[in-house]
Chains A and B, each alone.
Chain A
């Protein structure tokens, strides 16, 4: 296997013509370049967040409850007022009951003991750049952290789905016959169950967690890629270059993954991109329903779930932040995918 893998770059070099032409085509496509740039900015931000450079302290409660956005500083904030009033009520000296309270003699001792424990009162700010959530966490940082979870899930599960789809499609398309029949059967089984139901059935059994979501989306999402790759392999398997490889004694594996695979990479790449968008959307829905990321993490889906109740009391900023950033990323990604497809496969329109 290692021999197989190590020889791929050599092949890629010889076929660099296609890629450099495609890159040139992509560079000419203005919409493609701009949307690609937007996607790159998102990915950089997510990378920075994963490395802890930004939004590391997203879960610190830096503001008052539902802190107003800075541009709406004067807006009344009943929730924060209520919290403050409650604090004041606690701070007020209680009615003196020491004559009837049986615990009264021990209060002094307890007070001294509490004094030994150091607590720091964090200064909660009244406003945050784009507002705060219920616990006074910065919405911008939360959105970045949420992007990290959503995009990570989308990316890894798209890779898993593409891997499964390519492997199955290659085997089915290359060998045909009985092998193909088995995979066709598997394909029919997976596609005969409505997608959302399949995902939920997996979620019911596997429980929640980041890895589970990736598994669910990857295992259920390979069918589309399988179909396309299988068709490509059927087309390629009897081409002259594969026959030539057979003539010089190349093994089945070598023909499948060294000879043919580089010629269908463009299909995989486009599908990877298409599926990533789909899986980001799916992750958001799963997390929203509570079957996605665990409670200590934030994703766009959990933000939207919180936002549902916040909107009723007029706190729209979390919804706006999560909804808008998701919309921008998905739009840019879809446009970029279209540009990529046009660049790699100009025959398709």
Chain B
């Protein structure tokens, strides 16, 4: 197990190097000279000269790349081109709001998904089942944007149940006042695909031999579903939750933009708008590392919930 962990961690190095090369090609080779990118955005020539010096623009590419690798290794990505704030400080302050929305969303989404999918799997093949599946397909086809626009208008503006947007300094106020509407809208969007997927997980288990055995010995259907099927289906569900976390971010980025939540997603969008390359570079590297560690922990999680799994 220890050897496995070490090997997996070592395998991350080439991947991370690849990510660094990709980002480097994008921002240094394709993106070009910061003096050109920032022309008209920063009018202080001294500051631009400083940025150029930090990036080593006048040096050959391998020196520039070495500077970038050093930034990654020391986790010091310099200062934002737009606000001159330290990039690490920006990320540290934006992480809180993102997590305030992400964690409740993830918990609720998984719990509701399991609940609904179990219900649908219970009545599998019936008209209700097919109607719900059809409704899911339709619900999934409506753009996330439409959900947010209409939801914000109806619940925030018309009914006034929640503030239309905003954020405060107090964690509890954020969680109770500002986070609920974005979370509810994200749930409305994610419940259809989650339900569909979890239903197939449950159906896979329902067709297993041990379920038939349980039924044959007279276990009531309800117990079969809750005890045998649910427990075994939890393995793919847990994996899916972890693996899908990075892709959850699309929704999160949009939500933060719409609801003016000062989180990482909004930061990225703002950074792209004003060509603030250091911020984008840093967030990309951090999230890539996070994704890799997440995938690794999923494998260990797998081992933990299903001891038959061999880690090789």
Question: Range of interface residues on chain A?
Answer: 35 or more
Assess the B142–A204 pair: CB atoms within 8 A: no
Is B176 an interface residue when CB atoms closer than 8 A count as contact?
Answer: no
Is B22 an interface residue when CB atoms closer than 8 A count as contact?
Answer: yes
Contacts A186-B18, A197-B283 given: A311-B153 contact, CB under 8 Å? yes
Other-chain residue from B143, B247, B250, B268 in contact with A327 (beta carbon distance below 8 A): B143
Residues of chain B lying within 8 A (CB to CB) of residue A284: 143, 145
Is B246 an interface residue when CB atoms closer than 8 A count as contact?
Answer: yes
Q: B252's closest neighbor in chain A, by CB?
A: A196
B122-167 at interface with A (beta carbon < 8 Å): 137-138, 140-146, 149-150, 153, 157
Other-chain residue from A189, A203, A331 in contact with B15 (beta carbon distance below 8 A): A189
Is B105 an interface residue when CB atoms closer than 8 A count as contact?
Answer: no
- Contact stretch, chosen from A22-30, A158-166, A287-295: A287-295
Residues of chain A lying within 8 A (CB to CB) of residue B268: 197, 200
Is A156 an interface residue when CB atoms closer than 8 A count as contact?
Answer: no
State the CA gap A308–B140 with chains docked (Å).
20
Assess the B26–A205 pair: CB atoms within 8 A: yes
Residues of chain B lying within 8 A (CB to CB) of residue A304: 143, 145-146, 149
State the CA gap A290–B254 with chains docked (Å).
12
Question: Range of interface residues on chain B?
Answer: 35 or more
Assess the A291–B250 pair: CB atoms within 8 A: no
Contacts A200-B268, A319-B149, A334-B137 given: A192-B280 contact, CB under 8 Å? no
A178-204 at interface with B (beta carbon < 8 Å): 185-186, 188-190, 192-198, 200-204
Assess the B145–A197 pair: CB atoms within 8 A: no
Contact with B along A323-349 (1 / 0, CB 8 A): 100111011001100000000000000
Q: B200's closest neighbor in chain A, by CB?
A: A349
Is B232 an interface residue when CB atoms closer than 8 A count as contact?
Answer: no
State the CA gap A288–B149 with chains docked (Å).
12
Contact with A along B245-288 (1 / 0, CB 8 A): 01101100110010000000000110111010100100110011
Is B14 an interface residue when CB atoms closer than 8 A count as contact?
Answer: yes
Is A210 an interface residue when CB atoms closer than 8 A count as contact?
Answer: no
B178-234 at interface with A (beta carbon < 8 Å): none
Assess the B18–A327 pair: CB atoms within 8 A: no
Residues of chain A lying within 8 A (CB to CB) of residue B272: 200-201, 203-204, 291
Assess the B18–A323 pair: CB atoms within 8 A: no
Assess the A288–B145 pair: CB atoms within 8 A: yes
Is B23 an interface residue when CB atoms closer than 8 A count as contact?
Answer: yes
State the CA gap A202–B143 with chains docked (Å).
23
B1-38 at interface with A (beta carbon < 8 Å): 14-16, 18-19, 21-23, 26-27, 30-31
Contacts A192-B15, A197-B284, A335-B137 given: A205-B143 contact, CB under 8 Å? no
Q: B11's closest neighbor in chain A, by CB?
A: A188
Q: A289's closest neighbor in chain B, by CB?
A: B269
Contacts A189-B15, A285-B254, A330-B141 given: A194-B280 contact, CB under 8 Å? no
State the CA gap A89–B139 with chains docked (Å).
49
Residues of chain A lying within 8 A (CB to CB) of residue B177: none
Shortest CB distance B147–A (Å):
9
Give the dominant DSSP class at A's interface.
helix
State the CA gap A99–B268 with chains docked (Å).
60
Assess the A194–B246 pair: CB atoms within 8 A: yes
Residues of chain A lying within 8 A (CB to CB) of residue B19: 189, 192-193
Residues of chain B lying within 8 A (CB to CB) of residue A281: 143
Is A206 an interface residue when CB atoms closer than 8 A count as contact?
Answer: yes
Q: B142's closest neighbor in chain A, by CB?
A: A327
Is B48 an interface residue when CB atoms closer than 8 A count as contact?
Answer: no
Residues of chain B lying within 8 A (CB to CB) of residue A327: 138, 141-143, 146
Contact with B along A161-174 (1 / 0, CB 8 A): 00000000000000
Assess the A193–B146 pair: CB atoms within 8 A: no
Assess the B277–A312 pair: CB atoms within 8 A: no
Assess the B250–A195 pair: CB atoms within 8 A: yes
Residues of chain B lying within 8 A (CB to CB) of residue A203: 272
Shortest CB distance B154–A (Å):
9
Is B291 an interface residue when CB atoms closer than 8 A count as contact?
Answer: yes
The residue among A192, A198, A288, A323 with the most chain B CB atoms within 10 A of its own CB is: A192
Assess the B287–A195 pair: CB atoms within 8 A: no
Which residues on A are within 8 Å of B, measured CB to CB?
185-186, 188-190, 192-198, 200-206, 281, 284-285, 288-291, 300-301, 304, 307-308, 311-312, 319, 323, 326-328, 330-331, 334-335
The 9 closest A-B pairs by CB, nearest first: A189-B18, A330-B141, A194-B246, A331-B141, A323-B146, A204-B272, A205-B31, A196-B250, A188-B15
Given contacts A189-B21, A197-B283, A284-B143, 15 further A-B contacts (CB under 8 A): A185-B14, A186-B18, A189-B22, A190-B22, A192-B288, A193-B284, A194-B287, A197-B287, A205-B31, A206-B30, A285-B254, A304-B143, A323-B143, A327-B143, A330-B142
A-B contact pairs, 27 of them (CB 8 A): A189-B19, A193-B284, A193-B291, A194-B291, A197-B249, A200-B269, A200-B280, A201-B23, A201-B280, A203-B272, A205-B27, A206-B30, A285-B143, A304-B143, A311-B150, A312-B153, A319-B146, A319-B150, A323-B142, A323-B146, A326-B141, A327-B138, A327-B141, A327-B143, A330-B142, A331-B137, A331-B138
